[in-house]
Amino acid sequence: MKKIVLIFLFSISILFADPKVELGIDLFFKDGKSALLDNKKVALLINHTSVDKNLKPTLEIFKENAKKFQIVKLFSPEHGLNGVNLAGEKVNNTKSKNIEVVSLHGAHKRPTTQMLKDVDVIIYDIQEIGCRPYTYASTLYYVIEEAAKKNIKVIVLDRPNPINGIITNGPMLDEKYRSFLGYINVPYCHGMTIGELANFFNSEYKVNCNLEVILMKGWQRDMTFSDTGLSWIPTSPNMPEADSPYFCASTGILGELEIVSIGIGYTLPFKIVGAPWIDAEKFASNLNKQKLPGVIFFPFYFKPFYGAYRNQNC
């Protein structure tokens, strides 16, 4: 019993250890940046990942501090305000805590003139994953462009790149394929935080938005998300763990070809590759012969609950 209690207490101490990194949301009010909002009408672009280092929701923090500004609406990205919608699924407008929630992944992906009516400042605070096709960044780019046209200030509360800030790998964007799934010309794994991406886009694409990034404290470029001490909140239904972005970067493109299952629809999204026609033993053996640094392939068998090869042995 003593061993069980000690293990439990040790686990709790790790769980609630003070994170090494302070996020943009942790510093916005603490450092007096909230003066930027005095007498302004504010819209928040947020979702379920929008929390401070102690997991307090960004919306709650802003509501508690809304003495000199007014929160007039919320914007939500792909997967919705609560992160429950599947990839590509249309998200409807709704309400949260009596505040209008306008979907930017429904009838419109860009905020319209009507959506931006009576908005002076837009605050963005969403966790990104470090891969170009992930659409939370694209939503921010669209917002920056539309805000620039109407002289609306955009403030980005910075968050870590969960892969780290060093790895830059993969192909650049072919301009003829520019879309919501790839809007700016950066490597597939770009090595930037969401704040750095915003500044890069605003400058390199000459958008000239009135943009300000609230930097983090304590974040180092070689940090993985686990190194930060922050709690990982699944950014979308198939991004359940802090290391999921690594695997998404590795197998995500393969999954788009729809010739194999990459674990979407099973309990290991992006972490497995299979199909009914694959010989697992031979496949793993041939891949291991490639001697890829730091990678071991292991034969594994599974049956997807939905998606590619649903209810088939892979």
Mean pLDDT of 238-250: 96
Tokens 């649903």, residue?
Answer: 310
Domain carrying residue 301: 257-314
Q: Are residues 223 and 261 in the same domain?
A: no
The whole-number pLDDT of residue 97 equals: 86
Q: Are residues 314 and 199 in the same domain?
A: no
Three-class DSSP category at 99:
strand
**Single-letter residue type at 130:** G
In a domain, 250, yes or no: no
Mean pLDDT of 15-40: 91
Residue 12 has pLDDT above 80, yes or no: no
Please tell me the distance from the alpha carbon of residue 2 to that of residue 85, in angstroms, as a whole number: 44
Burial class (CB in 10 A: 0-12, 13-18, 19+), 277: exposed
Q: Are residues 95 and 188 in the same domain?
A: yes
Q: Are residues 52 and 118 in the same domain?
A: yes
Residue 220 to residues 84, 200, 215, 224, Cα–Cα distance (Å): 31, 19, 12, 9
Structural domain total, the chain: 2
Mean pLDDT of 89-95: 94
Over the chain, what is the mean pLDDT? 93
The whole-number pLDDT of residue 16 equals: 56
Radius of gyration of the chain (CA): 21
Q: Are residues 312 and 202 in the same domain?
A: no
Mean pLDDT of 97-113: 96
Residue 88 has pLDDT above 60, yes or no: yes
The whole-number pLDDT of residue 196 equals: 98
Residue 226 has pLDDT above 70, yes or no: yes
In a domain, 239, yes or no: no
Query: What confidence tier does 15 reach under pLDDT thresholds 50, 70, 90?
Result: low
In a domain, 49, yes or no: yes
In a domain, 300, yes or no: yes
Q: Are residues 220 and 264 in the same domain?
A: no
The DSSP code for 177 is G
Please tell me the distance from the alpha carbon of residue 59 to that of residue 125, in angstroms, as a whole number: 10
Nearest residue to 218 (alpha-carbon basis) of 228, 208, 209, 210: 228
Nearest residue to 129 (alpha-carbon basis) of 244, 29, 30, 261: 244
Q: Are residues 220 and 266 in the same domain?
A: no
Mean pLDDT of 257-274: 94
Q: Are residues 28 and 175 in the same domain?
A: yes
Q: Are residues 108 and 200 in the same domain?
A: yes
Mean pLDDT of 272-300: 95
Q: What's the sign of the alpha-carbon dihedral 266, 267, 268, 274? A: negative
Q: Are residues 30 and 89 in the same domain?
A: yes
The whole-number pLDDT of residue 248 equals: 95
Please tell me the distance from the alpha carbon of residue 40 to that of residue 137, in angstroms, as a whole number: 25
The enclosing domain of 298 has a CATH number of 3.90.1150.140
Dihedral pair phi/psi, residue 313, rounded to 5° = -70, 125
Q: β-pairing, 70-76 with 41-46?
A: parallel
The whole-number pLDDT of residue 4 equals: 46
Please tell me the distance from the alpha carbon of residue 164 to that of residue 193, in angstroms, as a whole number: 9
